[in-house]
Amino acid sequence: MKILPLKGTCDYLPREVALRDYLQGTILSVYRAAGYERISTPAIEDIENIDKSEGGDNLNLIFKILKRGEKLEEALSDGSALCDMGLRYDLTLPLSRYYANNRQNLLTPAKCIQTDRVWRAERPQKGRLREFVQCDIDILGSASPTCEVDLIVTTAKALRAVGMEDFTVHINDRGLLTGLLAALGVPAEATDGVCITLDKLDKIGIDGVRRELGERLSDEGVIEKLCALMADGPVTLDAAAAYLADKAPAENLRWIMDTVAAVTDGGVPLVFDLTLIRGQGYYTGPVFEVRSREFRGAIAGGGRYDRLIGKFLGENVPAVGFSIGFERICAILRDRGFTPPTRRRRVALLYYPDQMVVAARAAEELRETCDVSLIEKTGKVGKLIGRIEAYGFDAFAEVTAEGITVKELGQ
């Protein structure tokens, strides 16, 4: 049998889990203090729900679960779908279904926390996981831009709480971007593709963008207008707004940016970024992303998805969320050599089997203040103590004629 975990999945050692638990706990306490509540959804979802979710490229990355028993036999003989379920690729789709199912038991707007695993069938490669954790907060049932402010301020606070300082929040609006593209002459049916290309500006440069636009658009004039807009360096919100007949999305973004700045005394660096798109097809308004100089790519991302819950309910419910890429935070802190503050003193209590009753009773008393591991003496005791010290115990104790003796380690 194979001893390695599946490619793109991880075994976490005790000290890695301690770091992960500490980071997740810290993020959770910031979220909870801000009035968000933890909810939980299943890891598996109906495959139809996933297929219809407008998850963009992620829909190509679904782990699908084979039908079972008679239904599998039927599918194999009649050529119908082999799968009936899939592993969730994000926490937003299950949350939308959850809200549709449970809204009568939630306060509206609902402020939800999810910190949980998701799965994507990425091509295995270094740093790209197929199973990973996301830490999401969402506000469901309100169209007010106060939600965006609340999410941005709270997410920034959570990132600070885990030691992220050097980050910038990029913000854009889907409606603003599509309005601008229409004003520049991009046909409606080419909008999505053009957005994908513009989003690659920092990866492929303006020449790469021009080349790709050439494959998507026939009108050279439109391509040149797009490239002129992008080539001049970052487009300001005012410059973008100048193209728009409907100023509402730009004014909304301005209000969000100004309010975040006022609430935090400018403590959250926030930039308008016309090339920010985010891959998911379900976003409808403001989208945001946190970038850090310590990591290539985003460490958090989110946006407004006012039409996703409507796919379940038949009536639209506005919603917006912000997700921290937990694995990226872990990677940054691991690279820094960060170790979480120790929780309690760790003591190894060594004993011979015939001393177990005395040892176990003594351990139970010490557990008022310490974590105490009962460790049977086998082999050479000196070597055992060496292994215990190397493993990071703070002290070891032994059963002696005088009772329990405790000796410090690692001093």
Q: Which of residues 258-277 bind a second copy (CB under 8 A)?
A: 259, 262-263
Q: Which of 73, 74, 102, 242 binds a second copy (CB under 8 A)?
A: 102
**10 Å Cβ neighbour count for 102?**
12
Least distance between a second copy and beta carbon 97 (Å): 6
Q: What is the DSSP string of 89-110?
A: S-SHHHHHHHHHHHGGGS-SSE
Query: Which H/E stretch holds residue 373?
Result: strand 370-376
Q: Which of 59, 71, 82, 251 binds a second copy (CB under 8 A)?
A: 82
| Residue that the structure tokens 């979802």 belong to | 45
| Residue that the structure tokens 């913000």 belong to | 171
Between 191 and 316, name the residue whose CB sits nearer to a second copy. Answer: 316
Contact segment (CB under 8 A) with a second copy among 10-18, 197-205, 208-216, 316-324 equals 10-18
Virtual torsion, Cα 249, 304, 298, 340, nearest 10 deg? 130
Between 238 and 376, name the residue whose CB sits nearer to a second copy. Answer: 376
Please list every residue from 225 through 264 that binds a second copy, using CB under 8 A: 259, 262-263
Q: Does 191 bind a second copy (CB under 8 A)?
A: no
Please list every residue from 350 through 379 that binds a second copy, using CB under 8 A: 353, 356-357, 360-361, 363, 367, 370-376, 378
Contact segment (CB under 8 A) with a second copy among 29-37, 189-197, 333-341, 394-402 equals 29-37
Calpha distance 290→68 (Å, rounded): 42
Q: How many residues sit close enough to a second copy to count as binding (CB under 8 A)?
A: 97
Judge whether 409 and 393 are in contact, CB under 8 Å.
yes
| Residue that the structure tokens 């490239």 belong to | 227
Between 116 and 212, name the residue whose CB sits nearer to a second copy. Answer: 116
Between 43 and 184, name the residue whose CB sits nearer to a second copy. Answer: 43
Q: Does 177 bind a second copy (CB under 8 A)?
A: no
Q: Which of 19, 27, 140, 149 binds a second copy (CB under 8 A)?
A: 149
Calpha distance 100→332 (Å, rounded): 36
Q: Which of 70, 77, 78, 105 binds a second copy (CB under 8 A)?
A: 105
Q: Does 204 bind a second copy (CB under 8 A)?
A: no
Between 194 and 359, name the residue whose CB sits nearer to a second copy. Answer: 359
Q: Which of 27, 39, 177, 270 binds a second copy (CB under 8 A)?
A: 39
Rounded to 10°, the helix 191-199/174-183 angle is 110
Q: Does 148 bind a second copy (CB under 8 A)?
A: no
Least distance between a second copy and beta carbon 268 (Å): 12
Between 37 and 408, name the residue whose CB sits nearer to a second copy. Answer: 37
Q: Does 209 bind a second copy (CB under 8 A)?
A: no
Residue 177 contacts by C-beta under 8 Å, 6 or more apart in sequence?
195, 274, 277
| Residue that the structure tokens 């690692």 belong to | 410
Judge whether 362 and 404 are in contact, CB under 8 Å.
yes
Least distance between a second copy and beta carbon 179 (Å): 24
**10 Å Cβ neighbour count for 174?**
21
Please list every residue from 55 through 74 that binds a second copy, using CB under 8 A: 63-66, 68
Judge whether 99 and 142 are in contact, CB under 8 Å.
no
β-bridge mates for residue 281, sequence order: none
Contact segment (CB under 8 A) with a second copy among 1-9, 169-177, 295-303, 330-338 equals 1-9
Calpha distance 65→83 (Å, rounded): 5
Residue of 150, 128, 118 whose CA lies nearest to 53:
118
Between 195 and 349, name the residue whose CB sits nearer to a second copy. Answer: 349
Calpha distance 276→142 (Å, rounded): 23
Site string for a second copy, 300-339 (x = CB under 8 A): -----------xxx--------------------------
Judge whether 73 and 149 are in contact, CB under 8 Å.
no
